[in-house]
Amino acid sequence: MHVSVALLLELGLILAVLGIVGSLARRVALSPIPLYLLAGLSLGEGGVLPIPAAGQFVQIGASIGIVLLLLALGLEFSLAEFTASMRHHLPSAGVDLLVNAVPGAVAGRLLGLDGVGVLALAGVTYISSSGIIARLLSDLRRLGNRETPSVLSVLVLEDFAMAAYLPVLAVLAAGRAWWQAIVGALVAVGAVLAAFALAARWGHHLGRIVAHPDNEQLMLRMLGLTMIVAALAEYVHASAAVGAFLVGLTLTGRTADRARAVIAPLRDLFAAVFFIAIGLSVAPVMLVPVLPAALALAAVTALTKMFTGRYAASRDGVGRRGRARAGAALIARGEFSIVIVGLAGARLPVLAPLVTAYVFALAVVGPLIARFTAARPRTRPFDQPHGT
């Protein structure tokens, strides 16, 4: 088997950089996400040290990373409790859509975009990054916080909305008929609802299939099942992240505890690659002309996301500090916004640099705001009190 020297060297460089910046972040009690993103920017096209040979591996690794992040997040909760929380937060989903999609739509009109461009930019400002927020909640030891279920409910309901939105955008961007867009949306939403119904009815059997006394067998079975479910979710234009999260929700008890332990190193590795990939997708030179518009839009929609999180947490009776943490957690944008650009960017070249600058700004600044918003002393994840 031929081994590419350039590939190995570049992968070694990526991992070394991740290790250094991650250590720096931990030393100052910060999430490493912003530094990972900036490291990706420096290693991408136009950066100080490009890594062309490792690009394909990073893109594949990023897809695995988002799946593992959401699988690990799902393992922290039960399906019954989370389903009830989502039903409770349907009003939060309506507020989220209204206050976050409207700024993007207005900005699209002001920039002179056509209907597809307005729809695309509205989606970009609406959808938060499940991957970044999942890692952020873990880094900040907030998985056990009282406001976290409301944050996750908003995220999953956003992913449901994306199941309807992405097929519509894809069809309209390709210039096809409106009825095709509606059919695609109905199929995607129906598939997601069916998956949740099946998981609620027969999901407990997954624990028996996955469970094994040997850690290697447990890991292989769980990852194999997760990847298959994630692929099916992606096939029907739902999110692979939703599929992975759903698998995590169905595993409970001792199996879930062991599963968290065996996937933790893989999750951390591929999550770091996911953040590097976002940085690699950005060419620094393309950001400069659109930076003022992107920063203005980022400032407005950071505030609207904070309002969304505060409203959602208030519905669960969370206190003032917890509401502030919920709002700050939702600020970051990421993977879905890049997907939207991929669907509509060819039709509207002006959209790609604007959205890239916008996403990168909030992906970097969002975790920093979350870190310093109503922060608590750092403790173990499941030792958090639940009263604020």
How far lies 85's CA from each of 92, 138, 152, 244, 383, in Å? 11, 20, 9, 18, 22
CA atoms of 187 and 254, how far apart (whole Å)? 36
CATH (residue range 78-258+286-383): 1.20.1530.20
CA atoms of 372 and 363, how far apart (whole Å)? 15
Provide the pLDDT for residue 385.
Answer: 40
Structure tokens at 85: 């929380």
CA atoms of 249 and 241, how far apart (whole Å)? 12
pTM for the model stands at: 0.79
* CA dihedral of residues 379, 305, 187, 87 (deg, nearest 10): 60
If you ran DSSP here, which 8-state letter would residue 382 be given? G
Q: Are 332 and 34 in contact (CB under 8 A)?
A: no
Provide the pLDDT for residue 3.
Answer: 66
Provide the pLDDT for residue 195.
Answer: 72
CA atoms of 97 and 312, how far apart (whole Å)? 13
pLDDT by residue for the chain (388 residues), tens digit each? 566 788 888 889 888 988 998 888 888 777 888 888 888 888 876 666 777 778 788 889 988 988 998 888 888 877 777 788 888 999 999 999 999 999 999 999 998 988 999 999 999 999 999 888 988 998 888 988 999 999 999 998 998 888 788 888 888 887 777 777 777 777 777 777 777 777 777 766 777 788 888 999 999 999 998 999 889 888 876 678 778 888 888 887 888 889 999 999 999 899 888 888 887 777 777 778 889 999 999 999 999 999 999 999 999 999 999 999 999 999 999 878 877 887 776 667 778 888 888 988 998 899 999 988 866 544 443 344 444 4
**Residue ranges per domain, the chain?**
78-258+286-383
Q: For the chain, state the CA radius of gyration.
A: 20
Provide the pLDDT for residue 300.
Answer: 97
Provide the pLDDT for residue 83.
Answer: 80
Provide the pLDDT for residue 237.
Answer: 66
Provide the pLDDT for residue 47.
Answer: 63
Nearest CA-CA partner of 246 in 83, 24, 53, 38: 83
Provide the pLDDT for residue 276.
Answer: 85
Structure tokens at 385: 């009190």
Amino acid at position 272, single letter: A
Q: Are 107 and 346 in contact (CB under 8 A)?
A: no
CA atoms of 184 and 190, how far apart (whole Å)? 10
Provide the pLDDT for residue 119.
Answer: 93
* CA dihedral of residues 351, 353, 354, 357 (deg, nearest 10): 150
CA atoms of 34 and 30, how far apart (whole Å)? 9
